[in-house]
Amino acid sequence: MSDTMETRRILDLLDLTLLDMDASERDLAKVCELANRYRTAAVCVFPRHAGFVRDHLDEGIAIALVSGDFPRGSDSPEEIFDAVEEAVSKGADEIDCVLEPRGDDSFPGELELAKLIAMREAAQGRILKVIIETPLLGERQLRAVTRMALSTGVDFVKSCTGRRGGCSDEAATILAEEVSRHCLSFEGNPGVKISGGISKREDAERLIALVNEEDGSISGSDRLRIGTSSLLADLVDGGLGRN
């Protein structure tokens, strides 16, 4: 596969991210301009910036809103429901929401299930990406919470916010394994969103390859996303930007 083709393949998966509460209109306009030029899958921002982004983003590029507390998720299912509902009211096509880990053996439990149900119901059919914060979890907890999330009908399991650690190779592999296993037994085709510290082409290519080695059907923007604020620059400098 040529560099240009590989660049296009990665851009198709990109959730171009700007998560800064104090982002200026100039910053937001730049993100939208880049998304429009390179046709990323989505632009990911906070709900307070949704109106501006909507006015500056071309048709066909999704607006993904990070709802609720970030990077630390809310402890209240009611607060989560209200936050996701607000994001929907702001015009979200997609919702990214943190499921906050707990540092005890009961995680994940009834509280996490209540939060996931609140997210799914409040999203009102929008694409729901649940941020699991894999850097804070052991393997048992990671597999358990991923299975729980998938059982409630989330559309993507997302590795992490990137604010408390990056996406490891092991985490990407486990998420892909669990999604593949889920699809063998249940209807639907959920996906994986890898995010956290992905700033270089080689990192993106390696993580995509790990996911595809587990299940080649986890591909295309309907089932695989890459969340990043800095990867685009490396892709452009090494690929489409020189054409």
Q: What are the tens digits of pLDDT across the range 99-147? A: 999 988 899 999 999 999 999 999 999 999 999 999 999 999 999 999 9
Strand partners, 127: 94
Vertex 183: Cα angle to 177 and 189 (nearest 5) = 105
- List 90, 115, 129, 158, catalytic entry: 158
Q: Rounded to whole angstroms, how far apart are CA atoms 150 and 148?
A: 5
pTM of the predicted model as reported, rounded to 2 decimal places = 0.94
Told to judge if 193 belongs to the known catalytic residues of this protein, a careful annotator would answer: yes
Contact 221, 204 (CB under 8 A): no
Told to judge if 30 belongs to the known catalytic residues of this protein, a careful annotator would answer: no
Residue 166 carries which DSSP code?
Answer: -
- List 90, 115, 129, 193, catalytic entry: 193
Mean per-residue pLDDT, 10-31: 97
Told to judge if 129 belongs to the known catalytic residues of this protein, a careful annotator would answer: no
Q: How far is CA 150 from the centre of its chain?
A: 14
Q: pLDDT-based confidence at 182, cuts 50/70/90?
A: very high
- List 96, 203, 215, 234, catalytic entry: 96
Ordered structural domains, the chain, with CATH:
3-234 (3.20.20.70)
242: pLDDT strictly greater than 50:
no
How many C-beta atoms surround the C-beta of residue 66 within 10 A? 25
Q: pLDDT-based confidence at 221, cuts 50/70/90?
A: very high
Contact 160, 133 (CB under 8 A): yes
* 156-181 pLDDT per residue, tens: 999 999 999 999 999 999 999 999 99
